[in-house]
Structure 1
């Protein structure tokens, strides 16, 4: 009887201890390590990213925090090299004086197009949060990424590009907000300096 009581006590202690989240040192925290290690990639290998991996990344994307759980986004993924080449060519022809236009996808073999719901004031923020989840989860799976705004401008400001925008088939009331390029990195960029001087704690005394 005494032995059973002791064993029950040990099991209870183990159950309680396992249920409590442990505070990890930031240097050993995988989430923090992933955030600090992520880089924007501008040179990609031609190697495709399989759809199983892309699906896993997008599951993380749609689990981003968002206002009132409205999930005020729509996403279209283009991993067809021929279609991406056609879109790039159309953008280049539509903007002949802009050398960057034709290469605005940075050679990424996958482009994620994210549109926002125009009926919701905070949908742009939701889409940004989703993009961050996409990029961080991609990095954790060995896939590089880059967040892009220029393709949005190039696709929406010229009639020559409109057919390709229509091919994305977003619902009425949605507007292309940003793009994320995905692929295996063909470079290893160094971290760029960040300014913690722009962060400050605010303290004041109550009257």
Structure 2
């Protein structure tokens, strides 16, 4: 299953999310508080909360029961960026266990609860791949139709091609794969060209 393949762009998005999120928290706290003492108290609370969420996330990653630990983290730190990352980790664990319903649920929650558009797009793309694996093709197409940054166009088109191919519509699949190639999708995923070539070969037979 290609749900977690070719993720260099997503990894960079996650790093960028933490950089941007850290700055926005600091600026928001500074603007929202009028006095030095209030600032210190609020800042300490933010630090304590972040440390608690970080520790909880570490426990999720190191746990033998990732799904259960992630549920606890999300319920106790739902507003933190670590809760979103825990949802990603739990979804990956669920996919590996072939628990696609749980994976879809985790990724849906992540997409709905993250503000960073690139990280949200990552959640949506993974959700669409899970939905393809579930043979929920209409849901997958609906997920892919949601607003995402232009930089994700190649991946969106490729998954659309996978959906159309699974539905038996080779013409639409070929068109979607061609759109993905034209969006430089082969730079991160050489298999994309193979998918397109295979369709060209089958149509020539």
TM-score (norm 1): 0.24
- Please identify which structure carries the higher strand content: 1
TM-score (norm 2): 0.24
Q: Which has the higher contact order (CA 8 A, sep 6+)?
A: 1
Q: Which protein is bigger by CA-based radius of gyration?
A: 1
